[in-house]
A and B are shown apart, each in its own frame.
Chain A
Amino acid sequence: MSEGYSPVMPANAYNWAAVWHRNFLAWRKVAVASVLGNLADPMTNLFGLGFGLGIIVGRVDGTPYIAFLAAGMVATSAMTAATFETLYAVFARMDTQRTWDAILSTQLTLGDIVLGELVWAASKAVLAGTAIWTVAAILGYAEWPSIVYSVPAIALTGVVFASLAMIVISLAPSYDYFVFYQTLVMTPMVFLCGAVFPLDQLPSTLQHVASVLPLAHSVELIRPAMLGRPAGSIALHVSALCVYAVLPFFLSTAIFRRRLMR
Chain B
Amino acid sequence: MTMSTLAINLAGVRKAFGGKIVVDELSFSVARGECFGLLGPNGAGKSTITRMILGMVSPDEGEITVLGQPVPTRARLARVRIGVVPQFDNLELNFTVRENLLVFGRYFNKSAREIEALTPSLLEFARLESKAEVRVAELSGGMKRRLTLARALINDPHLLIMDEPTTGLDPHARHLIWERLRVLLARGKTILMTTHFMEEAERLCSRLCVLEQGRKIAEGKPQELIDAHIGCDVVEIYGGNPRDLCAQVGPYVRHMEVSGETLFCYSSDPEQVRAQLRGRAGLRLLQRPPNLEDVFLRVTGRELEN
Which A positions have Cβ atoms within 8 angstroms of B?
A: 1, 3, 7, 11, 14-15, 17-18, 21-22, 25-26, 29, 97-99, 101-109, 260-262
Choose among A15, A18, A26, A109 the residue with the greatest number of B CB atoms under 10 Å from its CB: A18
- Cβ–Cβ < 8 Å partners of A101 in chain B: 86, 90
Contact of A11 among B76, B103, B104, B106 (CB under 8 A): B76
**Minimal Cβ-Cβ distance residue in A for B57:** A261
Chain B residue at minimum C-beta to C-beta distance from A15: B109
B residues 67-99 in Cβ contact with A at 8 Å: 72-77, 79-80, 82, 84, 86, 88, 90-95, 99
In contact, B86 and A1 (Cβ under 8 angstroms): no
In this complex, how many residues of chain B approach chain A with their Cβ under 8 Å: the count is 33
Tell me whether B77 and A102 are in contact (CB under 8 A).
no
* Highest count of chain B CB atoms <10 Å: which of A102, A260, A262: A102
**Residues of chain B with a CB closer than 8 A to A98's CB:** 88, 90
Interface SS of chain B? loop
Known A-B contacts A7-B55, A109-B76, A262-B57; the reply to A102 vs B86 at CB < 8 A is yes
Closest to A104 in B: B56
Chain A residue nearest in CB terms to B99: A25
**Cβ of B58 < 8 Å from any Cβ of A?**
yes
From A7, A14, A18, A260, contact of B76 by CB (8 A):
A7
Q: Which of A7, A101, A260 has the most CB of B within 10 A?
A: A7
Shortest CB–CB separation between residue A240 and chain B, in angstroms? 33
Contacting pair A107 B107 (CB below 8 A): yes
**Is the pair A22, B90 in contact by a Cβ cutoff of 8 Å?**
no
Q: Which residue of B lies closest to A18 (CB)?
A: B106
Of B17, B80, B90, B99, which contacts A107 at CB under 8 A?
Answer: B80
Nearest-neighbour CB distance to chain B for A68, whole angstroms, equals 42
A107-B107, A261-B58 known; 17 other A-B pairs, CB under 8 Å? A3-B74, A3-B76, A11-B76, A15-B109, A22-B103, A22-B106, A25-B95, A26-B92, A99-B92, A102-B104, A104-B56, A105-B56, A105-B84, A105-B86, A106-B155, A108-B76, A261-B56
What residue in chain A is nearest B151 (Cβ atoms)? A102
Asked whether, in the complex, the Cβ of B90 is within 8 Å of the Cβ of A102, the reply is yes
Q: How many angstroms between the C-alpha atoms of A22 and B91 in the bound complex?
A: 12
Residues of A within 8 A of B90 (CB): 97-99, 101-102
A-side contacts of B84, CB under 8 Å: 105
Other-chain contact of A25, B74, B103, B109 (Cβ < 8 Å) = B103
Instruction: Determine if B109 and A107 form an interchain contact, defined as CB atoms under 8 angstroms apart.
Output: yes
A104 to B72, CA, bound (A): 12
B66 on the interface (CB 8 Å rule)?
A: no
Q: Are A21 and B88 in contact (CB under 8 A)?
A: no
Minimum CB–CB distance for A203 against chain B, Å: 48
B103 and A21: CB pair below 8 A?
Answer: yes
